[in-house]
Amino acid sequence: MLYLNRIVEHLIKTYKKNMNHFYFYSKQLLKIFEKHKELLGLISSIDELRNSYIINPQDIVNVANDQNSQYRGMANLKNKINTKNQEILKVVRSKRPNKVYELVNSFITDLNIFDESYNDDNSLIKLLKEYPEMHTDAYSEKQAKQIFDIIENSSLIYQAIKNAEEKASYIIDELNKSKKKKPIDYLPLTIGTDQDVPLIEDFVLIFKKIEDLYNFICYIHKIDNETNPLLINQVSTGSWYSELLGIKQVVISTENLLKGIGDFIRDYITGKISREKFENNCKKAEAFINLMVIAKKNGIDNAELGVFRELNPFIENFKSDTTVIEINEEEILKMKKTEKLTLLDRQSKRENLIEGIRLNIEEGKEKKTENKKK
């Protein structure tokens, strides 16, 4: 019985770990779907009209057996189908072919950058790649078959997106249920990034640096950080994501600051600007100026130096190949698609890093063995 309980506990832990792994992934996927709602709305509208194609069997049974009645009955059914085709054609023609090509290509690109499994072998990608040509054919109304083809393709894409949305929403809902109830006057501060953090010391360091920044902003607000500490509410593995909890005023100031200087953070971690240039740019940002106003009001001198003393080490934790930093679910780096690494590129870098760690461990073992022989 004890052994069985341990198995159950292990399964629960594994389940929670896997759910955490996909939490950030699911959030990102739903954002991509939301971003491309213009294309998905078109596809959904066509699929909706498809459902009204159903012919009532009673309409066929009611047709009399004589030849004239059958002819009229078939003509009536054909008219109904043609009317429905015209409704669908109106929806199809609401977007010009070149616009649909643009929308589909943008959607495929975002999916592939987000997850390398959305490649040419992926069933959804195959359907999406067929869509522009089918849309063009239906748009031109060459023959009824083209309209039926776009209907079928739209239905398959819609169902694939719907399934992905349902799975993502389920994972997010399950994780939200497990979150701890936040203390009174506390707000969440979520941080997400595409950066891999394979070493425990690096993972802990990021938390320490954000805590140091939080504590100094507490000082600016004249709030005791010991009685109002920064708390960890949730940590996800895989794509690095965490939800912290902090006192309301400080979280708002921290969030505004990081969002307000996102462009400068991007240029700093990619080496486009120096630390001096980074700090000078930050001083001109509205969020930074507002924070200094609070510091001055509370009689705190040299607040600028204090902020940069805590801010710079936090930012410098992010490597130059970081392409996404999210603060409370808003991407602050605002990098162009061409600047972002694909998941495949990041996986390659991670594998190289882990291989380097493995070689260092083996080298250390060899040295120990040599020392023992001596």
pLDDT of residue 346: 47
Whether residue 220 has pLDDT greater than 90? yes
pLDDT digits (tens, 9 = 90+) for 191-216: 877 665 556 666 677 788 889 999 99
Residue at a domain's end among 149, 177, 205: 177
Whether residue 204 contacts residue 217, with contact meaning beta carbons closer than 8 Å, is answered with no
Highest mean pLDDT among 53-57, 97-101, 324-328: 97-101
Task: Return d(Cα 304, Cα 288) in angstroms, integer.
Answer: 9
Domain count, the chain: 3
pTM: 0.56
Asked if residue 277 is part of any domain, the answer here is yes
pLDDT of residue 57: 53
Cross-strand partners of 236: 241
Pair type for strands 325-327 and 330-331: antiparallel
- Asked if 160 and 28 sit in the same domain, the reply is yes
Asked if residue 82 is part of any domain, the answer here is yes
Asked if residue 374 is part of any domain, the answer here is no
- Asked if 71 and 212 sit in the same domain, the reply is no
Number of C-beta neighbours around residue 284 at 10 A:
10
- Asked if 16 and 93 sit in the same domain, the reply is yes
- Asked if 141 and 80 sit in the same domain, the reply is yes
Sheet with strand 231-236: strands edge to edge: 231-236, 241-247, 186-193, 325-327, 330-331
pLDDT digits (tens, 9 = 90+) for 47-97: 888 766 555 555 555 655 666 655 565 666 666 666 677 788 888 889 999
Asked if residue 281 is part of any domain, the answer here is yes
Q: What DSSP assignment string belongs to 222-282?
A: T--TTTS--EEEEEETTTTEEEEEEEHHHHHHHHHHHHHTHHHHHHHHTTSS-HHHHHHHH
- Asked if 160 and 217 sit in the same domain, the reply is no
Q: What DSSP assignment string belongs to 114-162?
A: H-TTSSTTSHHHHHHHHHHHHHHHHHHT--HHHHHHHHHHHHHHHHHHH
Strand spans (E) along the chain: 186-193, 231-236, 241-247, 325-327, 330-331
pLDDT of residue 298: 94
- Domain range holding 353? 343-369
